[in-house]
Structure 1
């Protein structure tokens, strides 16, 4: 009985030791051998260089600019003669046509100096006596009408009868009663419509149907001085003080179109269309006007997913081997640019300029952080 009491505990200890050894072998030794047989293959990061082909397409250069309806400024009238106001023809508030007389200026004409004439008093005595003093001539005047320089309503007429005036003095202003649509252009928008014959279509918020807007002009006036309303600027408000320099664009509203100052509007400026031309994304070009630089992959550049075939180093080498090439640029729609010379259809170029920051694309990025564009 004593022998049986010690044999059973010893037997259980032996069984537990065998089980522990078997579990250790399965968990560690067999797993390590499997990894060794598989060559310790581990997932590796791959750097992908996006390439795009130069393709034939159509580029429509249409620039949309938010703006507002503004009243055209009053036209000043200046005196065209020195003198005094002799007569006033109109009053403030009257409607006049271009060339209508507003008031009359009287100017004194200076007479030539007179000389006394000596005549003989007695021919027998031969004595000459001075003639009587000459009678001064009556003063002479010229009368000049100052006329309206534009048609409209006399907004101001700041002259009085017998008031002395000088040439160039601003004496009146004419409100033309017309409207324009004015907006602010960013620097890239200015380049897109630079030196091109432009036409514009205007859509007024809550107003009439879209209408053509004539006399499209561009200037350097910032938005704060063009009369753009807060409604047109939207929630973002006016540009920040350190924002890039911008210019203004405006066009004349047809007289028959019913609008009023302060209405928000959108100006769609068409600066041309190019069909069946070589195009690339704007992200692939350094430069946006006249000339630019692209990075071309030699021999077509292969597949942008070459790294997936097992040689990430080869992918990096292909980026380093991209050839910098100057190209001539045409129209630009903000996403695609026309290549007028320097690039053939089908040539592969880097989709992003080397060193350019990675664009956000719904949380997805090409390659690894910091590596976009090579």
Structure 2
């Protein structure tokens, strides 16, 4: 045991330190030479091959369905206007009466002076006989059905175009703003939409769907939107609007979702919208050729659902195209959004 401690253990320590020293010298002066291959070759350098992602033209059923964040608004009062220069002769209905579109509201009277009649007797005396004015009357009718409120008094002078009354229909509409992309998708909009009011009645169909520029301060003068239900507009906001059925109970200011379905195509050739430059009527895709090089190709477009777009002409099923338009900005992937547990 004494020999082991005095001779064997010290010898093992020396051997271990020698191995460590040789290894350190190799790392310091030997570099990262590869164990095989060309002895003169340097260390391996990292490398990567980047390929643009591709997608295949496939067939699918595509539905052009647009969902809007909407609001319930009270339909504005409709203005009745004077259609003759004159004075208010008399009213046909009382203030606050319930009228039907086309009902008589009031009568305007116009008096036009006439030249007097001159006559000469046998002795040459001239007699001037005044004549009563020419009288013209016209009726102002209700422009809509609802409750009438007058803004003029009897015998008040008015001019053509002056507001003489308003009719409040007591009905409601669904109103939602459209983005430029949604405007293109609804160029051939249907006449109705599906509405859902959270916490309200069952989903229902609204009718008389229209799209157009919102009425601003300088908009159409014959309709006065409910100011509390609509935000101010500069006249450039495009909106979709449809009427709530009379039997459905709603209130101004309620939020709603308005779903407008404008066409469906079955077994259509489709591509992701990211693969197409342009999304209305015409576009461009980059088809991958046999040599692997992309080739720019014009295509004719049909419906889109916001994720896929119908290709009417220009490519065939099975063609490979670049998944992203060259040069287009691609939103970075948020790893926390994909896996909430990473937060």
Say whether 1:36 aligns with 2:29.
no
How much is the aligned-residue C-alpha RMSD, in angstroms? Answer: 3.6
CA deviation after TM superposition for structure 1 residue 348, in Å: 0.7
Once structures 1 and 2 are overlaid, which stretch shifts more, 98-107 or 323-332?
A: 98-107
Q: Which residue of 2 aligns with 1:107?
A: 110
Match of 1:149 in 2: 143
Q: For 1:223 and 1:28, locate their aligned partners in 2 and report how far apart those are by CA, in whole Å.
A: 83
1:327–1:222 Cα change, 3 Å: farther
Matches within 5 A, 1:118-133: 118-119=121-122, 129-130=123-124, 133=127
TM-score of the two chains, using structure 1 as the length reference: 0.74
The TM-score, its normalising length taken from structure 2, stands at 0.80
For 1:257, the equivalent position in structure 2 comes to 248
1:280–1:336 CA contact under 8 A, matched in 2: yes
**What is the aligned partner in structure 2 of residue 91 from structure 1?**
94
Find out whether 1:206 has 2:203 as its counterpart: no
- Secondary structure, aligned partner of 1:133: strand
Residues 228 and 52 of structure 1: is their aligned pair in 2 closer, same or farther, counting only changes over 3 Å?
A: farther
Query: Are 1:175 and 2:168 matched, yes or no?
Result: yes
Q: Measure, in 1, the Cα distance between the counterparts of 2:61 and 2:24.
A: 64
Matches within 5 A, 1:321-360: 321-360=293-332
Query: How many residues of Structure 1 are paired with residues of Structure 2 in the alignment?
Result: 319
Q: Deviations over 1:247-276 (max 9, x none)?
A: 211111122222121111100011111111
- Larger relative strand fraction: 2
CA contact (8 A) 2:171 2:246 kept: yes
**Gap regions ≥5 residues in structure 1:** 1-7, 120-128, 302-317, 365-374
337 and 198 in structure 1: CA distance in 2 versus 1, 3 angstrom threshold:
farther
Greater shift, 33-42 or 52-61, is seen at 33-42
- CA displacement 1:288-325 (0-9 Å, x = unmatched): 111111111102x7xxxxxxxxxxxxxxxx4xx21111
Q: Map of 1:271-350 to 2, 5 A cutoff?
A: 271-299=262-290, 318=292, 321-350=293-322
Give deviations 1:98-135, integer Å, cap 9, x for gaps.
2222222222243344121333xxxxxxxxx1367254
Structure number with greater Rg is 1
More helix by share: 1
- Which deviates more from structure 2 when the two are superposed, residues 136-145 or residues 349-358? 136-145
Equivalent in 178, 186, 191 of residue 184 of structure 2: 191
Query: Aligned-pair distance for 1:78?
Result: 0.9
* Superposed displacement of residue 356, structure 1: 2.2
CA positional deviation for 1:192: 1.6
| Corresponding position: 1:218 with 2:218 | no
Q: Which residue of 2 aligns with 1:247?
A: 238
Q: For 2:296 and 2:255, how far apart are their aligned partners in 1? A: 45
Separation in structure 1 between the aligned mates of residue 228 and residue 261 of structure 2, nearest angstrom:
24
After superposing the two structures, state which structure 1 stretch, 13-22 or 82-91, moved more. Answer: 13-22
